[in-house]
Structure formats: C-alpha cells, structure tokens
Amino acid sequence: MGDNPSGSTYYLTTPIYYVNDVPHIGHAYTTVAADAVGRYQRLLGREVYFLTGTDEHGLKVERSAQRQGVEPQGLADQVVQRYQALWDKLEIAYDDFIRTTEARHAAGVRKLWALLRDSDAIYKGVYEGWYNVSDEAYVPDSQVVDGCDAETGDPLERVQEESYFFRLSAYQDALVAHIRDHPEFIQPDNFRNEILSFLDQGLRDLSISRTTFTWGVGVPEDPDHVIYVWIDALTNYISALGYGSDDEDLFQRFWPADLHLIGKDILRFHAVYWPALLMAAGLPLPRQIFAHGWWTKEGQKMSKSKGNVLDPFALADHYGADQLRYFLLREVPFGQDGDFSDAAMVRRANEELANDLGNLLNRTLSMQRKYVGEAVGLPAVATDADADLKAQLDALPAAYEEHMAGLRFHRALEAVFEVVRRGNTYVDEVAPWVLNKQGETERLKVALANLLETVRIAALHLWPVMPVACERMFEQMGYALAGAQLDRDAAWGVRPAVLHTAQPKPVFQKVEEPEEG
C-alpha cells in the first residue's frame, strides 16, 4: 500500500451529487472551490487527480424518478448531463467523473463489503427506527419531534426490517485518537470540535443494508439486501481509482486522498463513517476533510417551495463564469456560511474585476502601444516607486501560498488585489502621460514594463480561480500561461525578455443586476 509520502501527487474530491434534481449554486460552490485547489496544486507542480461525480442510487433518487414517471437510470442519465454541462460551463478541470451506476464502481463497493465481512466488521440484525429520505440518513429517536427530523425539519419514515450492521461503535476510540493526533484531519476547527463532541456521546452500530427497495448495489451473496446508499457513495473515492478492478495502479499512486472537500451537511458521513469503514478495511485514511458553509439567497434559505434556488447556469450566463467563480471564493471565508445577493455580485464584478484588474491591464497595454510600441522589455527598479512595487510583488507568493494551503481563498485573493491596487496607484504616481509629454522615453518604458509585470504576476496567481480570464490576459500580454509553475514564474522578471503585446480588449465586462422576474 503506497502512502505517497513524497507529496508529489495530490488527490482531491468533491462530494458526488444526487441526481434527484438539477444542480444548484451549492453544488457549483464545492466544485469551483475544488477546481481552484486542483489548479493551484498544478501550479505548484504536483500531479493532481481531481475527482467529481454523481450519486445515483438510493431511495431519494428512486422516489424522485417515480414521481417523474421515469426509471431511476433514465433520470440519472438525464441529470448527469446537467452536471457535466455545468462543469464545462464553469471550466471545471476534473480528471475523472464517477457515476455510482457504473460497473467499475459496483466492483469497488463489493470489494469493500467483502473485506468488511471478512474482518468481521459486519453482522446481521434488525433495524427499527427512523429514516430521513432527503438526507438518506438514519435518525436517532432522540432527534425526532412529531415524526420530523429536529435538525432539518424533514419528515421521517419509520423503518423495521432485517439489516446488516457495521460495527461502528468498535471504532469510537480509534477515531477520537486519530482526530486528536491529526489536527488537520477535520477542518475548520469548529467542525473538528463538533465531530469530537459527537463522538463523545458514543457511537451506535450503523445499519448498512435495506430490503424494502432495490435501487442500489446488492449485498454480495445476499441479494435480498441493497447496500446502504452512503456506504455505496463514500466508496466512490476509491472505486474511481480502480479499487476492486484488475488495475489498481491509480489507487496505489493516489490513495489516500489529500483532500475531501464537502459541505457541512455531510460532515458526519465523511468524518465518522468513512474513516471507520477504512479502518475496518485496513486502508489508510484521507489526509484532510474540509467542510465549507452554506449559501443563502438574500438572507433566506434556498428551497424549491420558496422558488429562490439559485441556478448556476443562469448566474454564469449573466455574470460570466470567471466572475461567478471569483465571487463565490472571494465573498465568503471558506468554511463559513455566506449570503448571495446580486448587489454584492455586481459590486465585486465591477469594482474589483472590471475596474481594478481589467482597467489596469487595459490602461497599461493602451499606453504601452500608444507611447512605446507593442514590444515590452523586462521590468527594472530605478525609483522608490519601482522599489515599492517590486517589494509588494516579491511578498505576494508567500502570503498567497500560505492562504491557499489553508483554503483561505478570500485572503489569497485579497492579497493579489492589494498588489493590483498598488499597480493602479503606481500609474497615478508615475503618470506615464506626463513622462510621454516630457519625452522621458527610457523611464516610460521601464514604468510600463513594471506595470505589465504587476498584471502578469497577479494573473498568474488568479489563474486557479479565474482560468479563462487570466489566460486571456496573458494572451494580450503576448505569451501563454501553459505550463507555468509558481516557484519559477511568480518572481519579478521571470519571463521572456521581450513580449509582443496584443491590442487590448476588455477581459471583464461591466455587469448589472438582472431584471426582476
């Protein structure tokens, strides 16, 4: 079993999303964040494997299909296309997309089941209690009020049937020890503490099969039982790497995962059930589970009944994919809850992207081509203003990398925008139009090269969050971002000695709030 300690590979995952309904902004959020992490890790030179996919089994999907009068597989086949189209639209550079109805996945689930059975972690019994179909979760009696889930308000169903159980309770001490010994295992800290206090209350064994419906992976050697959808779903993280197939190379190379990115709603499944299952199977645990917060719309919980569910397609169409990506990661500290409003979205897109960043490139290129010509030489330090600008650029990579490593996207972006704003004040201080009038050509060339260097370094660091816009910025600056690495290319002056700039074209359009209705 490889433990890839070299750190040259990086395996990250999103949750696999239920296909009972089309994607909304919450799904886009997790996946955009994961994509930014993946791209950042690529900029660090790591070999990244980025997995996403869909969770297609279980009662929730089966019932949704019934309501729509279609087969569950048919529903899955339709909805999965919506997800894949959204990821294309949002420029999500995933390496693999797993669907739990694929044969390769079932093979992994069966292998894990067999291992659990052989290690005596499974026994047969009867489950009697409550079930939340919307969350696909067993709910303890203590959490039931008037037949509803006290935590979510969802209606519950009473279940009484034969079931296989996983000896979850046997892993309580090992889980607590692992979480205590590995502070980075569950992040942010408030969620780590939440899990520790949950474990403190004691664990009950987990029902892991059902007999009253069929839409799932059958229990090997006991076809009356369907494997609990969460056991099925969690296994995607290894089945996608070929676990259970005749080629486990990827699994050897990339497991354990470096990062499972999830929403706070599914923390318990990832931070308690999944590690316990892996322990029982004798497999290494993921390095980190990071839970992010919940989006609301103008202060309100999003729900179909309220009709206020944010459609990521519509938002990307209206504001632009990069603008939306930027907003999601800039507006709210990752890990905390946040609120979406069109006013806030417009402000960030216009003030920060169009004005601060877009205009800096546009002004720089226009002045360059008007006063000097298309070719730009290397940056240089001649004045105090130059030295100050360079000092800020020199300080950026370390600050940025520290924040990105901690998934503090908003701080990483803020650090880049400090540099961008310094570029804008530099323009005012240096006043290239005055230098032009005075015929100070050498000084003018240097000042404009320094400005272009500011945009270059900013765009390099912004690429994980706004890949298309940053690639366009590079094109206008006269060279390509492909193959860039932070440790080499983020430094002042590390670029071709002469750049042939292109005609400037606005990279970020000004946006407006959509019309009501």
Residues that bind ligand ME8 (CB under 6 A): 15-18, 26-27, 29-30, 55, 233-234, 236, 262-263, 265-266, 294-295, 302
Distance CA 273, CA 176 (A): 13
Q: How far is the CB of 289 from ligand ME8 (least distance, A)?
A: 11
Q: Which is nearer to ligand ME8, 267 or 481 (CB)?
A: 267
Q: Are 295 and 310 in contact (CB under 8 A)?
A: yes
Of 79 and 175, the one with the shorter C-beta distance to ligand ME8 is 79
Report which residue's Cβ sits closest to ligand ME8.
Answer: 26
Residues 6 or more apart in contact with residue 282 via CB below 8 angstroms: 115, 119
Backbone angles phi, psi at 234, to 5 degrees: -60, -30
Which residue is associated with the tokens 């804008």?
424
Among residues 29 and 492, whose Cβ is nearest to ligand ME8? 29
Q: Which is nearer to ligand ME8, 98 or 389 (CB)?
A: 98
Look-up of token digits 């546009």: 362
Supply the DSSP string of 68-110, one letter for each residue.
HTS-HHHHHHHHHHHHHHHHHHTT---SEEEETTSHHHHHHHH
Q: Which is nearer to ligand ME8, 262 or 345 (CB)?
A: 262
CB of 320 to ligand ME8, least distance (A): 21
Which two structure tokens, joined as six digits, stand for 16? Answer: 């696999």
d(CA 269, CA 232): 12
Closest contact distance (angstroms) between CB of 239 and ligand ME8 is: 11
Both structure tokens of 297: 């719309």
Angle value at C-alpha 74, between 69 and 76, nearest 5 degrees = 110
d(CA 262, CA 270): 8
Measured between alpha carbons, how far is 437 from 417 in angstroms, rounded to an integer? 30
Grouping H, G, I as helix, E, B as strand and the rest as coil, residue 139 is strand
Residue 462's nearest CA partner among 510, 417, 429, 399 is 417
The nearer residue to ligand ME8, 29 or 319, going by C-beta atoms, is 29
CA–CA dist 65, 45 (Å, integer): 44
CB of 480 to ligand ME8, least distance (A): 33
Output the smallest distance, CB 17 to ligand ME8, in A: 4
Smallest separation (angstroms) from ligand ME8 to the CB of 309: 9
Of 27 and 268, CB closest to ligand ME8: 27
User: Least Å distance between CB 52 and ligand ME8?
Assistant: 10
Q: How far is the CB of 277 from ligand ME8 (least distance, A)?
A: 12
Query: In this complex, which beta carbon is closest to ligand ME8, that of residue 34 or of residue 458?
Result: 34
